[in-house]
């Protein structure tokens, strides 16, 4: 009678690693029980696991989430990245001062053949080119929020970026931990956009720079989040006093319209993030962010059309 050849498991005496057949070993993966060599051993709570079992387990482990549904990163990477980006742009300003004119929040202005910028006062445009948000340069709404006053512009020059970066460091770490990276960035950028839009609506012939709108938006977000969680790592009342004092003192040097716009936009975005129902939280949060962005864009379009008609 013919006998069928069946695969027999290797014995302890002649066992080799299932990934490296030429390597003899006596250790098994304590999950799949296949033999593994020292290069394939991965420490486990008890014994060792093979690389395939480790990968399989990692796919089934749920990512930790923040209290508002965001992905927890452990460290405030977005906050540090925003600070780094603001500082790098500021250094670029010091080397190339023309960067400010090219990327500031300018609603409508004039530039001559030599590249000099002028305020659009409604006069003759002969020999000049119309520039600004109202004339298609929409990128200024966000690029201006990473620019700051230069050191030569009085006492508030260097203080402008120092104040903003201090508050970004203080508030950003707390909010990023509770919101997660994407939700935190959404609030920051919407607040920055809100500040730029309100400045454009009220002062389209002026020019402004600074992350202050985003910072005031983060302050509004912190107020909403801390009330929602009933947890205050910072003194809210003291924070409000300091920000109010800064708004008053800097009114002649920075744009109060940007502060107010950022405060309002950040507050609306924060309410959407913090009070979204848990069952459909991600969808509601996304809808609030997209809806707010759409409203801001619509306001810019209407203002630009009005300025174009007036010209």
Same domain, 184 and 271: yes
Query: For residue 19, is it within any domain?
Result: yes
Specify if 183 maps to a domain. yes
Domain shared by 45 and 152, yes or no: no
Helix pair angle (256-274, 181-202), 10° resolution: 140
CATH assignment at residue 252: 1.20.1540.10
Answer whether residue 122 is part of any domain: no
Count of domains observed in the chain: 2
304 in a domain, yes or no? yes
Helix ranges (DSSP H) in the chain: 51-60, 77-95, 98-103, 140-143, 156-179, 181-202, 212-229, 236-249, 256-274, 281-310
The two tokens of residue 240 are 């409000």
pLDDT, tens digit, 9 for 90 and up, residues 86-124: 999 999 999 998 888 889 898 888 887 666 776 666 655
Q: Does a structural domain hold residue 4?
A: no
Residues 239, 305, single domain; the answer is: yes
Write out the residue range of the structural domain in which residue 44 sits. Answer: 12-56
Q: Are residues 45 and 173 in the same domain?
A: no
The one catalytic residue among 144, 212, 226, 250: 212
Band (pLDDT 50/70/90 cuts) for residue 26 is confident
Shared domain check, 142 and 49: no
Considering the domain architecture, whether residues 148 and 250 belong to the same structural domain is answered as: yes
Note whether residue 128 is domain-resident: no
Give the Cα separation of 225 and 267 in Å (integer).
10
pLDDT in tens, 171-205: 999 899 889 999 999 999 999 999 999 999 998 88
Least confident of 19-33, 193-207, 212-226, 237-251: 237-251
- Say yes or no: 45 and 99 in one domain: no
Domain membership flag for residue 156: yes
The C-alpha angle with vertex 261 and arms to 255 and 68, in degrees rounded to 5, equals: 135
Q: Which of 135, 148, 160, 259 is catalytic?
A: 259
8 pLDDT more than 50? no
Domain identity same for 50 and 182 = no
Task: Let me know if residue 127 belongs to a domain.
Answer: no
Let me know if 259 is a catalytic residue. Answer: yes
């Amino acid at each position: 009678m013919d006998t069928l050849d069946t695969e027999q498991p290797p014995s302890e005496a002649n066992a080799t690693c299932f990934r490296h057949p030429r390597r003899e070993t006596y250790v098994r993966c304590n999950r799949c029980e296949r033999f593994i060599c020292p290069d394939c051993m991965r420490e486990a709570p008890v014994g060792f696991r093979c690389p395939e079992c480790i990968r399989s387990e990692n796919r089934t482990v749920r990512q930790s989430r923040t209290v508002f549904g965001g992905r927890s990163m452990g460290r405030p990477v977005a906050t540090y990245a925003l600070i780094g980006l603001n500082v790098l742009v500021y250094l670029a300003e010091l080397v190339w001062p023309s960067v400010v004119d090219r990327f500031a929040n300018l609603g409508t202005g004039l530039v001559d053949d030599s590249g000099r910028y002028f305020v659009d006062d409604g006069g003759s445009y002969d020999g000049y080119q119309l520039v600004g948000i109202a004339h298609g340069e929409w990128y200024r709404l966000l690029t201006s929020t990473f620019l700051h006053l230069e050191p030569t512009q009085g006492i508030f020059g260097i203080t402008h970026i120092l104040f903003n970066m201090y508050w970004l460091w203080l508030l950003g770490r707390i909010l990023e931990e509770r919101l997660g990276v994407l939700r935190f960035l959404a609030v920051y950028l919407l607040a920055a956009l809100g500040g730029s839009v309100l400045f454009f609506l009220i002062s389209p012939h002026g020019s402004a720079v600074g992350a202050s709108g985003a910072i005031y938006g983060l302050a509004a977000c912190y107020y909403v989040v801390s009330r929602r969680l009933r947890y205050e790592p910072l003194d809210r009342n003291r924070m409000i006093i300091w920000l109010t004092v800064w708004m008053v003192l800097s009114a002649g040097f920075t744009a109060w319209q940007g502060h107010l716009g950022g405060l309002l936009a950040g507050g609306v975005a924060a309410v959407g993030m913090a009070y979204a129902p848990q069952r459909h939280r991600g969808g509601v949060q996304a809808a609030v962010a997209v809806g707010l962005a759409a409203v801001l864009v619509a306001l810019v379009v209407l203002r630009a059309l009005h300025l174009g008609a007036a010209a």
